[in-house]
Structure 1
C-alpha cells in the first residue's frame, strides 16, 4: 500500500461520486424521496449516508472536536446535500493525498453512529471509506433504476482506469 495507490483510489472515488451526483440533479423530487426497500429507504437517504460517511471520516482523521454524523440531522435540500457531498469527497481525496505514508500505521479513533468507539490504522480507514462509498454507490444505481432513472454510465473502477490512467 502506497500513497500513490490510495491517492489513485481517492481520485476514482471523487470521479465516481461526481458522476453519481450529476445523476441526482436529474431526479424529480418524487424520485428523490420515493420510498424503496434497501439499506436506506430512498435515493435521498442513501446519498445522505454516503456524504455523511465521507464527512465523518474527515472529522475522525483531523480529530475534529465534535464529529457529527450528517445522517443524524440533515434536513436540507438535494442541492445542499450534493454540495456537502462534493466538499466531503474532495476532502477525502485531499486528506489521503496529503497524508504521509509514515502515518499509515497510526491509529485513528472513531465513534460509531449509535455510540461506542473503535480504532483502526489510517490505511485501514482509507480502504474502508473508499470501499464503503463504492458499495453504497452500487446501491444507489439500483435505487435509481427502481425510480425509473436509466441515464447512467459506468462508474466501475476499470472504466476509470481505462479513461483516465491510460
Structure 2
C-alpha cells in the first residue's frame, strides 16, 4: 500500500494540513478566529468546512448512505463548533487515522464504487479518484487560508506538493 499513488497523495494532504496548523499556532490569537471579508468569514470556518467535507467523502467511500453521511457530518460539526485551534487540530489528526485505517484496509483503491448523490442520483467513482478529489479540495481551501492570512498581514504556510516530496 505504501507505493500506492492515491495513498501518497492523501499523506500529502495530511502533511499540508499540519503545516497550516503549525503556522496558525505561531500567529496572534485573533488571526484564526476573527471575522474578515473574504471567501469565508474566518479561517476557523475554512478549516471546519474542510474537516466536514473530508468526513463526507470518507463516509461515502466507506459505503454510508447520503442520509447516514449527512447525520455523521452534522454530529461531528457540532463537536468542533467553538473549539480551540489545538482541539481542531486533534480532530483532524483523528480523522487522518480514520482515513489511514480505511485506506490500509482496501485491497484495491482502483475499484469503482456506486453512491447516491442528493442532486445527481446514482454515481460511480473510482476510490483513488475520490481520494485525489479530497486532496485537491484541501489544496483549494488551504489556498483560501493563505489568502486570508495575507489579508491580515501574515504569510501563509508553504504547502506545495514539491515541498512534501522534498521533506
What range describes the TM-score normalised by the shorter chain of this pair? 0.7 to 0.9
Q: What CA RMSD, in Å, does the superposition of the two structures yield over aligned residues?
A: 2.7
Which ranges of structure 1 fall in alignment gaps of 5 or more residues? none
- Asked whether the equivalents of residues 54 and 92 of structure 1 are also in contact (C-alpha less than 8 Å), the reply is no
**Per the alignment, in what secondary structure is the counterpart of residue 61 of structure 1?**
helix
- Cα distance change on mapping 1:108 and 1:32 into 2, 3 Å: farther
Give the deviation of 1:144 after TM superposition.
Answer: 1.8
Provide the residue aligned with 2:91 in structure 1.
84
**Runs of 4 or more consecutive aligned structure 1 residues displaced over 6 Å after TM superposition:** none
- Cα distance change on mapping 1:23 and 1:3 into 2, 3 Å: same
Give the deviation of 1:45 after TM superposition.
Answer: 0.5
Which ranges of structure 2 fall in alignment gaps of 5 or more residues? none
Aligned residue-pair number: 158
- Asked whether the equivalents of residues 108 and 122 of structure 1 are also in contact (C-alpha less than 8 Å), the reply is no
Please list the CA deviations of residues 139-162 of structure 1 after superposition, one character each: whole Å capped at 9, or x if unmatched: 111112222333x54211011112
Give the deviation of 1:15 after TM superposition.
Answer: 0.9
Please list the CA deviations of residues 50-106 of structure 1 after superposition, one character each: whole Å capped at 9, or x if unmatched: 1111122122222346223358644231233221122223333443343222x5232
- Asked whether the equivalents of residues 14 and 90 of structure 1 are also in contact (C-alpha less than 8 Å), the reply is no
Provide the residue aligned with 1:50 in structure 2.
50
